[in-house]
Amino acid sequence: MKAKREEVLRKILVCTSQVFLCAMLIFSGKLAIAADRPNIVVFLTDDQGYGDLGCFGSESLETPNIDQLCKQGMKFTDFYVHQRCSPTRLALMTGSHAHRAGCTKVIYNKDRIGINADEVTTPELLKSAGYTTGIVGKWHLGEWDTFNPTRHGFDFFYGFMIDLDQGTGIYRNLNRVESIKRKTDGEHSPKLLDAAIGFIKENNERPFFLYYASPLPHTPWIPNERFQGTSQRGTYGDVIREIDWQVGELMRTLEEQGLTEKTLFIFASDNGPVLGINGGDAGPFRDGKWTDFEGGIRVPCIMHWPGTITPGANCGQITGIIDLLPTFCAIAGVDPPVDRVIDGRNILPYLKGADVRTPIHESFIVPGSVIRHGRWKLLVRELNPGGKSGREGKRPSARAGSLFDLEADPGETRDVSADHPEIVADLQRRMELAVEELEANSRPIGRLPDDHASETRRKERKMETQQM
């Protein structure tokens, strides 16, 4: 009996060792594959207009570091996002239109909603390919612990969350480390930058994904003291210079760590500029934030990847924030989710300068609102000027059914629908099909459990009582 038990134990140990060895080989193999993959940095600004960079036509804003990034990388002239903050960030995380992922509004603390735990996020996919993932700055996809970035694929988080009891704070992972008044105060820029630089240095020997979500140049503009009074465009210009400094410092860190040629660096904005105040500029486009005019949804985008992207290249094809997830998957060698609809497409062929005969995207659609197909853009519903009441002046609205030729008229000033009824009919049909498909394949936004929801209401009533 004793001999049989010893033999059984020996076989168990052998099997266990073999399983452990196989697991280690798989893990080491994954690391070896990941080691050949580039790092990925996404620098996303908040409310920066298409015309707010020197390399995108500004003659009054100084952005030397970003301009150099553009000179050495690829300029995307037709890069689309959503018209406000949270939806764009949701699209970045899911590779889907925010409409499909359940939320087209700004997510506030009181909403008790955030990114759904069932979403397969960009950082989760990259983690499966051996990447270390970090986010610095503004999350805005749910302010509650349930929605904390570290619960949705990020290994590291240093940035802003809002608590009903304590107000806005800076968090490191799940822990509140500082209470603050405003996210946009420039005194926080060195802290955010230090956190990002620390993340890069700590992970310089393995592939990483860094999402640097700057809270700038969102209002109120409070530039860091080193940039106050340094621009030709007042306080707004000072903040843009601060952003440019942050980009420059991150690029310098990559250079010092020998990572420049091993890193895809992407710069973009989450939506167009706030209008009606002496601030952002949508360049040649109409209107800005809060609208689906080009000024609200077309933003500056630059991608920099030495050895892969030809310096000084331009991409005039339709692309967007939804494309980053599938593109990153292609770069990392991991498949996007197949159990759901992903609206984005892999645009790596554009980055590599491949001869793409058929555009990767023939259309860009804001479901139920506007559709761009090639040079044409149709408004399916009436669009009103953006901006807060009283700030936007008396800019005109545009009626439903308006058709614009964006090649001849990027400012959307001339409705040519009467001249091209066949194009109007075609685009209306395409929109109807797109909305029908989306409604059949949409996913819900995440919601707090009932016990959290009741606690939220209790805190809100308490705050209302204190303010009376």
Question: What residues are labeled active site?
Answer: 85, 140
**Cα distances (Å, whole numbers) of residue 196 to 107, 137, 203, 386:** 25, 9, 11, 33
How wide is the angle at C-alpha 347 spanned by C-alphas 341 and 350, nearest 5°? 160
How wide is the angle at C-alpha 140 spanned by C-alphas 137 and 146, nearest 5°? 105
175 sits in which H/E element: strand 175-179
- For residue 35, which amino acid is it? A
d(CA 302, CA 209): 17
| Burial 19-31, CB ≥16 within 10 A → b, else e | eeeeeeeeeeeee
CA atoms within 13 A on the CB side of 276: 16
R_g of the chain, CA atoms, integer Å: 24
Ramachandran class of 40: left when φ > 0, alpha when ψ lies in -120 to 50, beta otherwise: beta
> Helices 234-256 and 64-72: crossing angle, nearest 10°?
50
d(CA 57, CA 416): 27
- For residue 302, which amino acid is it? I
d(CA 405, CA 296): 17
Give the three-state DSSP class for 150. Answer: helix
Backbone angles phi, psi at 159, to 5 degrees: 180, -155
Q: Look up tokens 């959290």; give the residue.
A: 452
